[in-house]
Structure 1
Amino acid sequence: MTLLCILEALDHIATILGVAGILFALLSWRSSRNSFHHTVITSCTSRFQELSLKLLTQLPLSKEAVQQYLELCNEELFYFESKFLPQPIIDEWLDGMLSFIHLRREDGSLFQLAEVTPSPETDLSPPFPAEYQQFLQNYPRLNYAFRVTPAAEKTINSVHSEYGSDAARAEMVLTVLANLRSYKEQPFLKHLHRARTTMGSNVRNWLNTILP
């Protein structure tokens, strides 16, 4: 066997090993991602189950229970925003959140489908009392996601009239998702990103001046 043949054989072997390495890395990454997804889903589900007894059976609700639930929702929105979870899980969890947290208009009033009428005696936003809505201000991501613009409200009502409450509920989920996608474009966050980018650039420039 000539030297050229040996080199060609080694080249083929190296190519095969390289492809095998890439496939192994890809499979390992997918396995790690799936494991992480499972861990996140299990953790959030377990925490909600612990809270559900307080949220669904202990009325009037305590401020502590409401705050714990909002903290969990805010964390889940971060997972949604960062695409850490499959879309069907995101849709299902958002639908569940809408059972506790109403969409809010720009003037602070609560949006409800026409067939839902709150009790004037208790003024509940089922199951959250209206006064607890102010807690949302402590969670900017959550507060921003559960808002409804006049255009979005018009779309939801139109879907409700034409297709019914289930379709309107789905449109409300889409409204929250759209808000969440635009959350990163908020001026504060954009300025924060620019500031971090500038700071990182300044550090690199400083290192270049002191390192040979």
Structure 2
Amino acid sequence: MSFTYVRTNIVGSVAIVRTVGYAVLGLLAERPRTGYEIAKVMKVPIGYLWSASHGRIYTELQSLHADAFVTHQVVDGPGPRDNRIYTITAAGRRALSDWVDSPLAPQPAKSELMLRVRTLWMVSPQRARQFLAEVRLDCEHRLTTYRDVDTQFAAEGDDHLEQTTSAYWSYATLQAGISYEQHMIGWLNSILAQLPVARPAPSPPTPV
């Protein structure tokens, strides 16, 4: 779902901010960042709740800048290209605050994984087992990543324990991501335990 929130900005025009735009504003509300830094953070740790491609992020930054929700400063970059450091404006903070405090729209249930699982009767039990094992491996990789981030939180101090900090709420969503992957792995294990294990092909007869 691409939820949009509409408001009138300081020049009287209508600004439409997509959900990923609010994710960007939320990161900039913590501190100024370059587009590259935003893309990196949205991969990990924010990847467990929302992800976006580099191109999508830069498109959102352009829209937010056009709507006066962010400003940018051009600085020398490490390579031949300059960097743009983005900063949220007062209007951007108001839009973000209004969005956070607005009623949450109904969240439609959409899961391609569950659609496929529901139709696994169309393939052999061995192929179903292989498919679910691959899904479990992806879950295990994400869980390892989230646990690494969890360790980083602990190493960086106690900010994530203070409810008035952004780190506290980022840590809360991290725990949701960890719990979800643990639940999925347990659920997959319970199904895999009921499916037959593929038997190895018989060895060819030994020539006499």
TM range (shorter): under 0.3
More helix by share: 1
Please state which structure has a larger fraction of its residues in strand: 2
User: Taking structure 2 as the reference length, what is the TM-score of the superposition?
Assistant: 0.28
